[in-house]
Amino acid sequence: MAFNSFGHRLVLTTFGESHGPAIGGVLDGIPAGLSFDAPAVQRALDRRRPGQSALTTQRNEPDRFELLSGVFQGKTLGTPIAWLIRNHDAKSEDYDALAGVFRPGHADQAWQHKYGIRDHRGGGRSSARETAVRVAAGAIASMLLRNAGIQVTAYTAAIGDISLNREWHQVAPDLIEASPVRCPDAPTAARMQGLIEAARAAGDSLGGSIVCVCRGIPPGLGEPIYGKLQAWLAYGLLTIPASKGFEMIDGFANAGKRGSETNHFRDGISGGITTGDPLVFRVAFKPVSSISRAQPSVEGESAAPLEITGRHDPCVIPRAVPVVEAMAALVLADFYLLAKTNDH
Amino acid sequence: MAFNSFGHRLVLTTFGESHGPAIGGVLDGIPAGLSFDAPAVQRALDRRRPGQSALTTQRNEPDRFELLSGVFQGKTLGTPIAWLIRNHDAKSEDYDALAGVFRPGHADQAWQHKYGIRDHRGGGRSSARETAVRVAAGAIASMLLRNAGIQVTAYTAAIGDISLNREWHQVAPDLIEASPVRCPDAPTAARMQGLIEAARAAGDSLGGSIVCVCRGIPPGLGEPIYGKLQAWLAYGLLTIPASKGFEMIDGFANAGKRGSETNHFRDGISGGITTGDPLVFRVAFKPVSSISRAQPSVEGESAAPLEITGRHDPCVIPRAVPVVEAMAALVLADFYLLAKTNDH
Amino acid sequence: MAFNSFGHRLVLTTFGESHGPAIGGVLDGIPAGLSFDAPAVQRALDRRRPGQSALTTQRNEPDRFELLSGVFQGKTLGTPIAWLIRNHDAKSEDYDALAGVFRPGHADQAWQHKYGIRDHRGGGRSSARETAVRVAAGAIASMLLRNAGIQVTAYTAAIGDISLNREWHQVAPDLIEASPVRCPDAPTAARMQGLIEAARAAGDSLGGSIVCVCRGIPPGLGEPIYGKLQAWLAYGLLTIPASKGFEMIDGFANAGKRGSETNHFRDGISGGITTGDPLVFRVAFKPVSSISRAQPSVEGESAAPLEITGRHDPCVIPRAVPVVEAMAALVLADFYLLAKTNDH
Amino acid sequence: MAFNSFGHRLVLTTFGESHGPAIGGVLDGIPAGLSFDAPAVQRALDRRRPGQSALTTQRNEPDRFELLSGVFQGKTLGTPIAWLIRNHDAKSEDYDALAGVFRPGHADQAWQHKYGIRDHRGGGRSSARETAVRVAAGAIASMLLRNAGIQVTAYTAAIGDISLNREWHQVAPDLIEASPVRCPDAPTAARMQGLIEAARAAGDSLGGSIVCVCRGIPPGLGEPIYGKLQAWLAYGLLTIPASKGFEMIDGFANAGKRGSETNHFRDGISGGITTGDPLVFRVAFKPVSSISRAQPSVEGESAAPLEITGRHDPCVIPRAVPVVEAMAALVLADFYLLAKTNDH
């Protein structure tokens, strides 16, 4: 019922508007006594932060992780871990022209209708900037997962109409960060990069998809009926802005096959519960809605064409890769802790 | 944390094993004073029940709705609505040979690992029979939705490699029930029916996909951040057995397009909140795992081939249509009630 | 948000109206593999059921426990345990005169205001008959607690102005059931019994208090801040009809003392977390509201005096003893399971 | 399951250790469009802060409210309201001697057993300093309540063996703040003040009780069965450090009476639901555990006597008054919002 919170036993609560003083989070449920790796959190934020490469928005946010609680002498206390990320380069004036209009494809109108008020600057609370807090939380959850031998790795599988032509088990994880698009195949990555640059030049944007592979997962995570792991993963992943589809690999393709072909297919989950095999899923993202070519606002065709001058990514996929990893890590860590209560 | 329960303000709790005395549910949160239409619940159950056509399992269950509480003199009381569905035609002996083996593609092994015990008869709690309880709950939630002018309609969009070649807005809802496959186009339905019969004859099974259209939804349902409506829909739908993918229409196809092409595309949700447009989504199902042709059990290739003699559907899609509607109705009714708390 | 449910990891959901077809419950979270002692549940129900002695209402309900799910071959499955208790001796006609009036001290008026509808027969859902379901749930939770070496024992500490003159550690548990008032001291019990009989003869009712002692509790149950064990015990106990006060022993008396006097006082909880010492608390109950002497209804002094002819206990304390034990057992079992997630 | 959070629809999450960089909170669920009165929050904090009078600990904390999110141009946004309170005067060295010992009556030992680690400085997370965050949250909840015509007023009813000799309806609210003990009767307040000063001089501490009166509450707040308002109030109030008892007024005294005496007694709640009458309850607090006279530590009688040199209040009651109000306000605002979902 608190929809700024996420999880059951490991619960992330986030707060903050894109152009307010700060965004931040509280992660409740990390057990006591875990070594806390603050630089790992900062590295994760650096992978998501704007301005990291020529492909992303030029809003320049250092996104510095400021730890407030939950850690003492380098160890977690079992108390809530809270942190801030101050907003620095918030050019609110970019948005002044938008105070009275709704950007097409954005949540502006839905939000205004629901609340009768909104912080129009950069989307306010509905800005994807909120995902920085998730990335920090995911990095903390990953400290717990790594202790348990679990690794979560996501990569760009498609941008626009260019798809990586490899199965997940053919991918070398150490190639992911080799290109700014985070596609672990150099020639494909180069073509994707060209496509993004062309979209930016044209004032347009691109969608795409991300594949996430989770290895080292013990059997038995997930709960029957309404606790099925794939259902909670789908929920978690589809809370990411611009996400529009989720499949356990290859759910949509396998739907066209016969049981005799797919019965030994393994996606890491059976009956909602992990089998011990790698768990692999894919998330689809729509093209970002902020495009700089003139377009009608949603207020009506007769309105003057709207030019959006805020700084935006032409394609969110590269920066969404660490967000996908974060949400997967949060779900897995939550169900990892929940599984401990099955014994008596 | 109670994973046999579903929802926030409208909460369904289900219980029961496939071959125990009964399955049943408790639906908490239906407001007081609503006219209760018990025959509508029975009709919904009849759409899901086994043995309804030549295409489905021949297990003959009347699936009679037995109301236990929450209704007085034809009106809801605002108290929990509880009901039973007795198990009648449970041929447990069909499963005696399975007490010691795990059926491939089933939850048997994951369950045994997690709990160290299971009711091996027909999958016990993990049987899709549990979805009968959801269908009853969805029918009750629909009484609330209908009062609010909301209709939920699902149909078969693909079975195996045969797809309905129409957009959702071209579909006539009253044709859905015209064929036992629930595809609202007579020639396509006939081909699908033939495919299912061939699969049965071959001892094989088929996957497919279902599209669901929700009309009359007021703007403002859904909550920001972790309460996005599409995320909760994905969660709800992916708790259905054999489901493996979810997309807001057409999430995966749109991922390959440009923002200038998709920015005015409307799937009924913006920023996680309904816009007032129809809300349309698709669910992918894998082929059912119980096939009667001999196959190795998951215990190892050296084991004697396993022949599963229980009565099963070669394709779950037709019977999953009312289950998809039920889960959508439960999610929508839940967020419909939640939206009432936004005012002050 | 589902207020017919109770608990976090061990969740009880109850349903049913006093004069409907049945009351019942679903208990979700009992681990798999526990031996299920059905006769123990029936014995617990027999301790609470009406008509068990001359002191209680003469409504004659066998309160037979009918198990529906969650147990297979004598062991729990880890799935929801559901059960029914059919309503048999529901003399609804006793209440016909009450359809249009509100009984003083009852929830009738508050309920009617809130819902605009109610089942006026015997209080409907607000009847204390719902506590029979709790007693069954508590008996099941106790199977888990006994395995862990935990015992929960409650007894009558006061009825009207007669109090047991012994500290909790001076009480012999096997004397509790020796008298129908459940006070473990024969002379005091006899005086209490006389007081109840006199109240019944006068058409009046009596309040009282119950002490509950929980032994064998491991240190470490309870969670800091908003998970303090005493707070959840208070919550659980004050959901019992007619309860009006809760204290860790002797919270109200110790409030009048100095730290130098109380600093080594032990009630089994420190900072919200169990210490390993016995945990002892007291619950106060108001006199039951249904009295048979004529009294004004809450509709106004000018209304004709109301004579309530339903069958009621002049004092709920003796029958509330097993209900207090049940609520304590549910809370303790819940936090016992929760404590398992503290390790990493 | 997140035990650093409190509430259902209005959810407070708190974080922070007593001697870490900051404590703070996130309040999720305040509706959009409410005028935000930041000075009122600061005034509430000033009522609770240490060093406000000669009666309280001399730790000098300005407890400055630093708002981080949820408010834009003076109005609430409907997004989470987050804030910080920096820790300034944390004399951690006072606690160095305590790193290896457990203070009697404190949570130190229970916490160490549960987590295997603790921030020993000033109790760390278990310090009553966390209640400052609750006071800020209560002040925000009160903005919502005031809009609805609801007032919450608490006062000191007893300190040690000195009790206020007036019924709640005889108390003048504007006299409460007239004395530093917050007892609304000048002569009684003066005697209480003398008692506290004597206790401090003797190196001892005192318990007491607080009465809270909530006026203007509409009928219909609270939910049946496990949503009874008194049960959630008891829960909320007994999460305050040092609280040991809760009663709806006068629950313990009325337990000794007859129904004919108490049937028209009104405490504002019937069947768990508000009646529209004022709602009145009392909370008992034990004497604070930190006393400066030498006493054995809990490690054993043979240990060297422990002298606690941290700065502590000899009596928490005066500073607990605003904390009691805050918890009551949070519960009432939560159920006020929940009640909006009863209509259909």
> Where are the extended beta strands (E) located within D116-166?
151-159, 162-163
Kindly tell me if the per-residue pLDDT of D170 is higher than 80: yes
In chain C the first and final C-alpha atoms are separated, in Å, by 30
Mean pLDDT of D119-132: 86
- Subunit contact D228:C251, Cβ cutoff 8 A: no
The reported pLDDT for the residue numbered A122 is 74
Mean pLDDT of A9-19: 96
Touching B: which chains, 3+ CB pairs < 8 A?
A: A, C, D
Of residues B2 and D263, more confidence is placed in B2
Q: What are phi and psi of B32, to 5 degrees?
A: -75, 155
Asked whether the beta carbons of B251 and A244 are under 8 A apart, the reply is yes
Contact list in C for residue A147 (CB cut-off 8 A) is: 344
Indicate whether this model's pTM tops 0.90: yes
Q: Tokens for B233?
A: 């829909």
pLDDT in tens, C64-117: 999 999 999 999 999 999 999 999 866 665 566 666 666 666 677 777 778 888
Kindly tell me if the per-residue pLDDT of D192 is higher than 60: yes
- Subunit contact B116:C32, Cβ cutoff 8 A: yes
Distance from CA of D69 to the nearest CA of A (A): 5
The reported pLDDT for the residue numbered C341 is 67
Which residue type is seen at C261?
E
Distance from CA of D180 to the nearest CA of C (A): 19
Touching A: which chains, 3+ CB pairs < 8 A?
A: B, C, D
**B230: containing domain:** 5-342
Local confidence pLDDT in tens for the 344 residues of chain B: 789 999 999 999 999 999 999 999 999 999 999 999 999 999 999 999 877 877 776 667 789 999 999 999 999 999 999 999 999 865 565 566 666 666 666 677 777 778 888 777 777 898 899 999 999 999 999 999 999 999 999 999 999 999 999 999 999 999 999 999 999 999 999 999 999 999 999 999 999 999 999 999 999 999 999 999 999 999 999 999 999 999 999 999 999 999 988 877 789 999 999 999 999 999 999 998 766 666 555 544 444 555 555 557 889 999 999 999 999 999 999 999 998 866 54
- Split at pLDDT 50, 70, 90, the class of A116 is confident
Distance from CA of A189 to the nearest CA of D (A): 38
Region of poorest pLDDT, from B312-321, C138-147, D51-60: D51-60
The reported pLDDT for the residue numbered D45 is 96
Of residues D97 and A197, more confidence is placed in A197
Touching C: which chains, 3+ CB pairs < 8 A?
A: A, B, D
Closest Cα to residue C159, out of C122, C210, C109? C210
Please identify which residue in the block is written with the tokens 């672990």. Answer: A184
The reported pLDDT for the residue numbered D301 is 43
Of D17, D69, D118, the CB nearest to A20: D69
Region of poorest pLDDT, from A315-319, B15-19, B136-140, D52-56: D52-56
Of A5, A105, A257, the CB nearest to B207: A257
- For D118, the closest chain A residue by CA position comes to A77
The reported pLDDT for the residue numbered B302 is 46
Contact list in D for residue B341 (CB cut-off 8 A) is: 9, 29, 31, 337-338, 340-341
Asked whether the beta carbons of A280 and A210 are under 8 A apart, the reply is no
- For D228, the closest chain C residue by CA position comes to C239
CA atoms within 13 A on the CB side of B225: 26
- Subunit contact C340:A341, Cβ cutoff 8 A: yes
Q: What are phi and psi of D245, to 5 degrees?
A: -160, 150
Contact list in C for residue D114 (CB cut-off 8 A) is: 219-220, 273, 339, 342
Mean pLDDT of D124-148: 95
Kindly tell me if the per-residue pLDDT of D323 is higher than 60: yes
Mean pLDDT of C249-257: 94
State the best of D79, D126, D223, D337 to mutate against chain A, taking most chain A CBs within 10 Å.
Answer: D79
DSSP sequence for B41-110: HHHHHHHHSTTSSTTS---------EEEESEETTEE-SSPEEEEEE-----GGGGGGGTTS--TTSSHHH
pLDDT in tens, C43-67: 999 999 877 877 776 667 789 999 9
- Distance between alpha carbon B312 and the CA centroid of its chain, in Å? 17
State the best of C10, C217, C223, C246 to mutate against chain D, taking most chain D CBs within 10 Å.
Answer: C246
Specify the DSSP element, H or E, that contains A186: helix A186-201
- Subunit contact B117:C33, Cβ cutoff 8 A: yes
- Split at pLDDT 50, 70, 90, the class of C122 is confident
The reported pLDDT for the residue numbered A256 is 94
Asked whether the beta carbons of D91 and C255 are under 8 A apart, the reply is no
ipTM, two decimals, is 0.93
- Subunit contact C251:D286, Cβ cutoff 8 A: yes
> Which residues on chain B place their C-beta less than 8 Å from a C-beta of chain C?
1-5, 7-9, 11, 13-17, 20-24, 26, 28-29, 32-33, 67-70, 72, 75, 77-82, 84, 114-119, 124-125
- The Cα B269–Cα B276 span in angstroms is 8
Distance from CA of D203 to the nearest CA of C (A): 9
The reported pLDDT for the residue numbered B120 is 74
- Distance between alpha carbon B237 and the CA centroid of its chain, in Å? 7
Closest Cα to residue D258, out of C237, C283, C159? C159
pLDDT in tens, D218-250: 999 999 999 999 999 999 999 999 999 999 999
Region of poorest pLDDT, from A108-112, A198-202, B176-180, B206-210: A108-112
The reported pLDDT for the residue numbered C303 is 47
Query: Could you give the percent of chain D with pLDDT greater than 90?
Result: 71
- Split at pLDDT 50, 70, 90, the class of D289 is confident
Question: How many other CB atoms sit within 10 Å of the CB of residue B96?
Answer: 10
Which residue type is seen at B26?
V
The reported pLDDT for the residue numbered B126 is 86
Specify the DSSP element, H or E, that contains D136: helix D131-147
Largest CA distance in chain B: 67
- The Cα D241–Cα D324 span in angstroms is 11
R_g (Cα) of chain D, nearest Å: 20
Write out chain C in H/E/C secondary structure.
CCCCEECCCCEEEEECCCCCCEEEEEEECCCCCCECCHHHHHHHHHHHCCCCCCCCCCCCCCCCCEEEECEECCEECCCCEEEEEECCCCCHHHHHHHCCCCCCCCCHHHHHHHHCCCCCHHHHHHCHHHHHHHHHHHHHHHHHHHHCCCEEEEEEEEECCEECCCCHHHCCHHHHHHCCCCCCCHHHHHHHHHHHHHHHHCCCCECEEEEEEEECCCCCCCCCHHHCHHHHHHHHHCCCCCEEEEEECCHHHHCCCEHHHHCCCCCCEECCEECCCCEEEEEEECCCCCCCCCECCCCCCCCCCECCCCCCCCECHHHHHHHHHHHHHHHHHHHHHHHHHHCC
Kindly tell me if the per-residue pLDDT of A28 is higher than 50: yes
Mean pLDDT of A300-325: 73
The reported pLDDT for the residue numbered A296 is 55
Kindly tell me if the per-residue pLDDT of C302 is higher than 90: no
Kindly tell me if the per-residue pLDDT of A17 is higher than 70: yes
- The Cα B286–Cα B24 span in angstroms is 26
Kindly tell me if the per-residue pLDDT of D303 is higher than 50: no
Kindly tell me if the per-residue pLDDT of A302 is higher than 50: no
Query: Which residues lie closer than 8 Å to C133 by C-beta, 6 or more apart?
Result: C12, C14, C16, C23, C24, C25, C83, C85
Mean pLDDT of D187-203: 95
CA-to-CA separations, D314 to B203, B257, C267, D247, in angstroms, rounded: 80, 69, 22, 25
Mean pLDDT for chain C overall: 89
Burial of D135 (0-12, 13-18, 19+ CB in 10 A): buried
CA atoms within 13 A on the CB side of D13: 29
Q: Tokens for D241?
A: 């450090």
Distance from CA of C84 to the nearest CA of B (A): 9
The reported pLDDT for the residue numbered B313 is 81
Specify the DSSP element, H or E, that contains D110: helix D108-115
| Torsion, CA C222, CA C224, CA C225, CA C227, rounded to 10 | -20
CATH code at D234? 3.60.150.10
Question: How many other CB atoms sit within 10 Å of the CB of residue B175?
Answer: 15
Contact list in C for residue D131 (CB cut-off 8 A) is: none
Question: How many other CB atoms sit within 10 Å of the CB of residue C23?
Answer: 27
Mean pLDDT for chain A overall: 89
Tally of structural domains, chain D: 1
The reported pLDDT for the residue numbered A176 is 96
